[in-house]
Structure 1
Amino acid sequence: MAGRLVHRVTPKDIGRRATVRVQLSDGRFRDIVGVLESWEDGVIQVRRRDDTVARVIEKEIVASKIVPQQPPRRRTGL
């Protein structure tokens, strides 16, 4: 059974870390992970870990969700 794509991020989530999936014009998907910096006039800005900013047009978003501020550490030595 395939997973269902859900867009859960809203303007109230500015300042939180999120993952946003957009569909490109060729049908492929692109995931952007970072802190939501702004959401104005249908354009979302996401600051990535490398400090670059991605501008995303809201209507191109096919899925999104809030993720933990720090990625979980990998457990070693189990």
Structure 2
Amino acid sequence: MTAPVRLLQSLPQGTRVVVRYRIGGQLTDALGDLIALDTDSCTVRTRRGDTVVPLTDVTAAKPVPPAPPRRAPRAL
């Protein structure tokens, strides 16, 4: 088990995280709330929806601060 996977296992659900993982030979990130973790995968709730990441593909992970509040739309 790699250090990033151990870190994910130590975090409580709901923690905002960034998870870097391999997909098709490339690296990509999932940024959002850690909503599920089992022996094979973790699920991160991103702005675009839930991303299920196989733990064998995780290369890095860390907790991140809460997202800043969204800005109000510009007045025209």
What are structure 1's unaligned runs of at least 5 residues? 1-5, 74-78
Cα RMSD over matched residues? 2.2
Q: Scaled by the length of structure 1, what TM-score is found?
A: 0.71
Deviation digits for residues 23-73 of structure 1 (CA, Å, limit 9, x no counterpart): 1232x10011010000023111110124x1000001110000000012489
What are structure 2's unaligned runs of at least 5 residues? 71-76
Structure 1 stretches of at least 4 aligned residues deviating more than 6 Å after TM superposition: none
Aligned length: 66
1:39-78 correspondence to structure 2 within 5 Å: 39-50=37-48, 52-71=49-68
Cα distance in 2 between the residues matched to 1:62 and 1:72 = 29
Give identity over the alignment, percent.
27
Which has the larger share of helix?
2
Amino acid at match of 2:53: V
